[in-house]
Structures are given as structure tokens and as C-alpha cells.
């Protein structure tokens, strides 16, 4: 089954513009749990609470705040935040090409596959082969949802892959990690360590050899619980009643006529006998449609 694109853009550098499609490259398959009410087994909903006013806050009363100091915030309206967004653009601008081995993998945040869009096949393949031939990858800016992202594009398989990467101020320095004092080792200790690594050495990394065993145990336990009927079935919450206007009018008319026939409407007096044929005539035609 062919992959479905999640979006489209255009790679732009110099006077070249290459239309491309974006495809999801990774998807977490870890297990997730929901918080339930122990008493009835229904899923809990989080409510926003203000500890100062000691009350729950509705969505309409929430504004965005930026922390400028400890417990100090400045508020922004939706209009102000919109004005701060980056310029809307449908292009992925390449600003430089760097050696592939100069990029530290710690900067990679997530990955997206790239494929040529309509009319961009030749230029896409030309760029792919040129980057592979020169051993360089592209550094670019990608604007999306009002924000500007730093990205890398490199050859992958027969095409290209895009990596969202962290900015420099988002990556902590490894120099801050305490490594302890420098140690010296004997020849026998170093030889033993080399032998240990050699005993576990492989020619290449093969992800298919590994699987999430915890997730498998959770899925298996869930299947066993289903088989044993140890399952909490939460009753479906009643939906708000949707009243059909035409049906409501007919029901109202039936109730009025019922009261008239029993003489309970506005006292015990019976309806005028002369008005009965006219009433039956209107009833046969049905109630008039209500205007919007």
C-alpha cells in the first residue's frame, strides 16, 4: 500500500524550486494507559483549577501567559500571538550544504520522508544524486504553523529525508556531565574489555532484531483479561437530546387536542361543536412548518 502524504512544500535554493511531498517516517508504538475512576471504570477528565480563586476555570476564561520571572507572567491575546508568527511561506529554504560527518546526531528531533511532487521528479533526483556524490547535506529553514523550524535534508535510500533538529540553545552541553576522575587501566583490563566487546560485536545495526517486550506483555495480558471477561465496560454517556422541530410540533398538537377532547384545557368547558369540523380539517393537513 502506497504511503499517504501528510503535506506538501517546495525545496527552494537559489533560483531552483522543487515541489515535494511529506510522509510520516516514524510512529511510536509504545503502550499507553488511561486514568479511570476506580469506582465505575469510566475515563477521567482533567479540569483546570485556579488555586488563588479556589475555582475551576472554563476554557473561555483562559489566556496565554509568558513567564518573565518566578510566578510573574505577561499575558498575550490570540491576536497578539498571531502577529508574532513568522511570515507564511510554502517553501523549505536551503541556506547551506555541510559535510554529513559534521552533524552530531544529538541535534536530530524527528524525521520525515520526502518524495517528489507533481512536476518535480527530475529536479528531485538530480539534487539527491548531487548531495550523495558530494557527501554533503542541506541545512534549511522550514516555516509551519507560524513557526520557523531548523531542518536538515540528507540522501536516504533512493530519495531524501528531512530531520527536524534542535537549535543550539536547546541542546545541553555534555561538559556539564560529571565523569569523575580520569582512570588508568592495566593491559589485562583493557584486553578483557576488548574481548567483551568482540564477543558481542555485529557487522551492522539491525533494528528488526529488537522489539518492545514490555508492550508485548501488556498486549498479551490485555488479551487474557478480555478472554476471562475481566473487562470494565463503561456505559455510554447519554448524548444531549436533539429535538426534531416537526416532531415536537406534532406532539404538542396531539397534547392540545387530547386536552380539548377531555375538556381539561382552560377549565371544564367543552370545545364549541361548530368549530369541530374546521379543527378536523386543519388536523388532516398537518401542522404548518415552522419558519426558520
Q: What is the pLDDT of residue 244?
A: 56
Rounded Cα distance between 140 and 12, Å, is 9
The reply to whether 102 falls in a domain is yes
Phi and psi based region of residue 265 (left: phi greater than 0; alpha: psi -120 to 50; beta: remaining): beta
Q: What is the pLDDT of residue 127?
A: 92
The reply to whether 15 falls in a domain is yes
For residue 208, give Cα distances in angstroms to 105, 204, 212.
21, 12, 11
Q: Are 124 and 160 in contact (CB under 8 A)?
A: yes
The reply to whether 206 falls in a domain is no
- Domain carrying residue 161: 7-27+86-170
CATH code, domain with 154: 2.40.290.10
Q: Are 118 and 8 in contact (CB under 8 A)?
A: no
Taking every pair of Cα atoms in the chain, the longest distance, rounded to a whole number of angstroms, is 121
Which value, in Å, is the radius of gyration of the alpha carbons in the chain? 34
The reply to whether 141 falls in a domain is yes
The reply to whether 75 falls in a domain is no
The reply to whether 77 falls in a domain is no
- Please state the domain count of the chain: 1
Q: Which residue has cell 518492545?
A: 212
Q: What is the pLDDT along the chain (292 residues), one digit of tens a residue?
A: 678 888 888 888 777 788 888 888 877 777 888 888 888 888 888 888 888 888 888 888 888 888 888 888 888 888 888 777 766 666 788 989 999 999 999 999 999 999 999 989 999 999 999 999 999 999 998 877 677 889 999 999 999 999 999 999 999 888 888 888 888 888 988 888 888 888 888 898 888 888 888 788 788 888 877 787 666 665 666 654 545 555 666 676 777 777 777 765 444 444 444 444 444 444 444 444 444 3
Q: What is the pLDDT of residue 156?
A: 94
The reply to whether 285 falls in a domain is no
Burial class (CB in 10 A: 0-12, 13-18, 19+), 47: exposed
The reply to whether 21 falls in a domain is yes
Q: What is the pLDDT of residue 280?
A: 43
Tell me which residue of 90, 99, 107 sits closest to 138, measured CA to CA: 99
Q: What is the pLDDT of residue 133?
A: 94
Q: What is the pLDDT of residue 220?
A: 81
Amino acid at each position: 500500500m502506497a504511503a499517504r502524504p501528510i503535506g506538501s512544500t517546495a525545496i527552494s535554493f537559489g533560483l531552483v524550486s522543487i515541489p515535494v511531498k511529506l510522509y510520516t517516517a516514524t510512529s511510536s508504538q509504545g503502550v499507553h494507559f488511561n486514568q479511570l475512576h476506580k469506582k465505575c471504570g469510566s475515563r477521567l477528565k482533567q479540569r483546570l483549577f485556579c488555586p488563588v480563586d479556589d475555582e475551576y476555570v472554563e476554557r473561555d476564561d483562559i489566556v496565554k501567559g509568558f513567564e518573565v520571572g518566578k510566578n510573574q507572567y505577561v499575558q498575550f491575546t490570540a491576536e497578539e500571538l498571531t502577529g508574532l508568527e513568522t511570515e507564511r511561506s510554502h517553501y523549505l529554504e536551503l541556506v547551506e550544504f555541510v559535510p554529513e560527518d559534521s552533524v552530531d546526531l544529538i541535534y536530530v528531533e524527528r524525521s520525515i520522508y520526502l518524495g517528489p511532487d507533481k512536476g518535480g521528479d527530475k529536479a528531485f533526483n538530480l539534487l539527491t544524486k548531487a548531495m550523495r556524490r558530494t557527501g554533503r547535506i542541506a541545512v534549511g529553514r522550514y516555516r509551519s504553523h507560524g513557526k520557523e523550524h531548523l531542518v536538515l535534508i540528507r540522501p536516504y535510500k533512493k530519495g531524501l529525508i528531512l530531520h527536524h533538529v534542535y537549535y543550539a540553545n536547546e541542546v545541553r552541553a555534555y561538559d556539564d556531565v560529571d565523569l569523575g576522575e580520569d582512570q588508568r587501566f592495566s593491559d589485562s583490563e583493557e584486553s578483557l574489555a576488548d574481548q567483551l566487546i568482540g564477543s558481542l560485536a555485529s557487522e551492522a545495526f539491525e533494528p528488526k532484531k529488537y522489539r518492545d517486550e514490555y508492550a508485548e506483555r501488556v498486549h498479551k495480558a490485555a488479551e487474557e483479561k478480555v478472554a476471562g471477561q475481566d473487562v470494565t465496560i463503561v456505559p455510554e454517556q447519554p448524548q444531549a437530546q436533539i429535538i426534531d422541530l416537526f416532531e415536537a410540533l406534532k406532539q404538542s398538537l396531539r397534547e392540545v387536542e387530547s386536552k380539548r377532547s377531555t375538556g381539561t384545557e382552560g377549565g371544564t368547558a367543552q370545545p364549541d361543536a361548530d368549530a369541530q369540523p374546521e379543527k378536523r380539517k386543519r388536523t388532516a393537513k398537518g401542522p404548518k412548518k415552522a419558519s426558520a
